[in-house]
Structure 1
Amino acid sequence: MTYEFTPADVRFLRSSAGVSAVAAVSELPLTSASLLADVATARRLVGEHAGPVLETVLLRRRAAAKVDSPADWLFTDTALQQATAMPVARHRAARFAGHAVHDVTCSVGVDLAALAEVADRCAGSDLDEVRLAMAAHNVSAPLVRADALRPVTRDIAVFVDPARRDSAGRRRWHASDFVPPLDALADAYRGRDLAVKCAPGMDFAELPWTGEVELVSLDGQVREACLWTGAFAGPARRATVLRTGSTAWTVTSDDPGDCPVGEAGEWLVDPDGAVVRAGLVRQYAARLGFWQLDERIAYLTGDAKPPGVRAFRVLEQGHYSEKSLRQALRRRAVGRVEILVRGLDVDPNTLRPRLKLSGTEAATVVLTRVGRTPKAYVCTES
């Protein structure tokens, strides 16, 4: 069970007494082994405020993957789960640089903080009184309590992050199930420059959207889709790949997509998930000078290792069966194997122990199909 904050809790946490209480409880380990004793200590230290103080300390420890300087932030559990990782929020905010923008579902202010760094002017609003009070602590921007479907600003860009989980925490996959729904948002802000954050697992072909759909990944994990319309919209599809400590790159539906299909070359590439989800595998292949093994499968192949891309050198290939793969790995004294699968009903975690590996070498196995033929590629990453 998570703690449900009240407006009074937020007022306390923002006070000097609350800051001191959080600092004191932050010294406790709060591990699974020490939790019962630490809770008792927290109750002795801060009395009736132990609940919100403990929850704040725990949430701040989890927030390191989402925001800078999490020790300065206030969160609820649900708001932290739904918050955008700051590198992704900053990437999105960059399109609003120099413009005025209203975050109409600002929650505790993570996206609003990124917007405030670059926008000419920005404001936030939300219906949740507690989250709005936390946002006032977290971000220096004008805030107002308001329904996202009842605009309180005019003639400026709008960013929306609709709720995509029901009361039981289950994901909502259809735009009509968003809170607020996508079609209602489009109606409420018709004629405005609008950006809507969505889940990357949606079926974008079914979206009632005529602008741009951007898929964004961070360090190999697809984090979000963003729908853009108005002046901020570009090509119909865009994939943006972010890497910590590295330069971002993009590929779009306007890029050349001339991509042949053929036998495996010396190298294989498994495209970033954002590229795959955006349906831009052919455009990405053309950029690399690679081709596809099969027009329906995302694996790409070529004869030269592309710079800055994780690629696998093909050592041997053949028809896939467990027996033949086991023999190939034994011949190469492979004892550690990464298994990548597309287009076949194979669970790597189930297959790995059945291979009964005992060697000293490492390899990557790519399992896929070419036409109707199951294929195995034994590779090394270099």
Structure 2
Amino acid sequence: MTYEFTLADVAYLRDAAEALAEVDRLPLTGASYLTDVAKARARLGERAGAVLETVLLRRKAVTKVDEPHEWLFTDSALQQATPAPVARLRARRFAGRDVHDVTCSVGVDLAALHAGARLAVGSDLDPVRLAMARHNVPDAALVRADALRPVTRGAAVFADPARRDAAGRRRWRASDFRPPLDELADAWPGADFAVKCAPGMDFAQLPWRGEVELVSLDGQVREACLWSGSLATTGRRATVLRTKGPEWTVTDEEPDHCQVAEVGEWLVDPDGAVVRAGLVRQYAARHGLWQLDERIAYLTGDTPPPGIRAFRVLEDGHYSEKELRKRLRAKEIGRLEILVRGLDIDPNTLRPRLKLRGPNEATVVLTRVGRTPMAFVCEAVLGSELASDP
């Protein structure tokens, strides 16, 4: 069970720097947790729960905000919060405008929007989250309001609807979001707006969206953002962010001339944002790659894009478990990464059956070409060994 904050808790926490610092000095690990909780309760009494939960949430928030030790969160708000690099990317399109975050929660997205907007307004129905947002983003204008009942005019709108039910299960249908996406669009007719949503949903069910942008951070797809009105700049976009390294983007306006042919020297697994956005062919055309199969996202070529992790093909052939085991044994492969696409194979089930032995390591890519299952035994090469920017 997570701690349920109250308005009284928020009022206390806003001026509880000493108590928070004292509890933050406790390890709060699995081995010490019960002892640490007892110490906090002896020192803080009924306030111990709020302080302990805040310290733990701040430790988790290091990937979400730049200065987590200054922030107040609830557990569910932190889980849904946008990582800071992604929030800053999105906020760039709102720069210089009046913007209204109509589901501002504790203010993570609002903080990024406020940094570049002419005027930033945040609203939410939850009074506790709104009180936390007043602490986290003190210079923004905040009001308690329903996202489906406009309280501003002329501002660009941002929304991050809840995507989990009461049991914590993810929602995938637009009608199951809170608020539902179509109702949100209907509530703000003519407004330029952006909606953060689940990367795996069916965007075709949302005819009002102008642009679908898939965003990844350090190799993990983080979100989809639906842009409308003048905020939309293309139909589909994939944006790839890296904590260390430049960002890049590919759109559906780029050429998609990409042949299907036999494997080259390298295999390339495009970033998940590129795959989810349906821009594999555009990415291939940009880098002179081609497809093994027009329905499979793996690409191949004689020169991989710089700055990525690519796979030098050592040998390839028809896949059978027996044949793959034989090949790996001949190469003395004891450590194996297994990548699968287009085949019903569970790597965790397959790996022990391969009976790996030896000092060497490799990556095997299992996929299909047409109806033929194929196995490509590869050497993985890190982007730093290739170049810097795709």
Q: TM-score range by the shorter chain?
A: over 0.9
Mapped pair 1:45 → 2:43:
yes
- TM superposition shift of 1:305: 2.5
Write the distance in 1 (CA, Å) between the matches of 2:78 and 2:170. Answer: 16
- TM superposition shift of 1:309: 2.0
Contact 1:127 1:146 in 2 (8 A): yes
The residue that corresponds to 2:231 in the other structure is: 232
- TM superposition shift of 1:258: 0.6
Q: Deviations over 1:142-196 (max 9, x none)?
A: 1111111111110010000011111111111111111111111111111110000
The residue that corresponds to 1:150 in the other structure is: 149
Runs of 4+ more than 4 Å apart: none
Write the distance in 2 (CA, Å) between the matches of 1:115 and 1:159. Answer: 9
Mapped pair 1:305 → 2:304:
yes
Following superposition of structure 1 onto structure 2, how do residues 16-27 of structure 1 map, counting pairs within 5 Å?
18-27=16-25
Q: Deviations over 1:74-130 (max 9, x none)?
A: 000000001001111111111111111110100000001111111122111111000
Unaligned runs of 5+ in 2: 382-390
Mapped pair 1:5 → 2:5:
yes
- Say which is worse superposed, 201-210 or 58-67, in terms of deviation: 201-210
Number of aligned residues = 380
TM-score, with length taken from structure 2: 0.96
The residue that corresponds to 2:388 in the other structure is: none
Contact 1:261 1:291 in 2 (8 A): yes
Contact 1:183 1:208 in 2 (8 A): no
Contact 2:268 2:304 in 1 (8 A): no
Contact 1:106 1:125 in 2 (8 A): yes
Write the distance in 2 (CA, Å) between the matches of 1:324 and 1:203. Answer: 39
Contact 1:366 1:376 in 2 (8 A): yes
Following superposition of structure 1 onto structure 2, how do residues 1-382 of structure 1 map, counting pairs within 5 Å?
1-15=1-15, 18-139=16-137, 140-382=139-381
- TM superposition shift of 1:369: 0.3
- TM superposition shift of 1:275: 0.6
One-letter identity of the residue aligned with 2:91: A
One-letter identity of the residue aligned with 2:352: P
Write the distance in 2 (CA, Å) between the matches of 1:20 and 1:125. Answer: 30
One-letter identity of the residue aligned with 1:2: T
Contact 1:215 1:274 in 2 (8 A): yes
- Say which is worse superposed, 299-308 or 313-322, in terms of deviation: 299-308
Q: Deviations over 1:352-374 (max 9, x none)?
A: 11111111111110000001100
The alignment partner of 1:197 has SS state of strand
One-letter identity of the residue aligned with 1:366: V
Write the distance in 2 (CA, Å) between the matches of 1:181 and 1:273. Answer: 26
The alignment partner of 1:216 has SS state of strand
One-letter identity of the residue aligned with 2:171: R
One-letter identity of the residue aligned with 1:253: D
Unaligned runs of 5+ in 1: none
Contact 1:7 1:133 in 2 (8 A): yes
The alignment partner of 2:286 has SS state of helix
TM-score, with length taken from structure 1: 0.98
Contact 1:317 1:378 in 2 (8 A): yes
Same amino acid, percent of matched pairs: 74
Contact 2:105 2:124 in 1 (8 A): yes
Write the distance in 2 (CA, Å) between the matches of 1:124 and 1:101. Answer: 9
Q: Deviations over 1:232-257 (max 9, x none)?
A: 10211111111112111111111111
Write the distance in 2 (CA, Å) between the matches of 1:293 and 1:284. Answer: 14
- TM superposition shift of 1:263: 0.4
Write the distance in 2 (CA, Å) between the matches of 1:172 and 1:208. Answer: 19
Contact 2:64 2:81 in 1 (8 A): yes
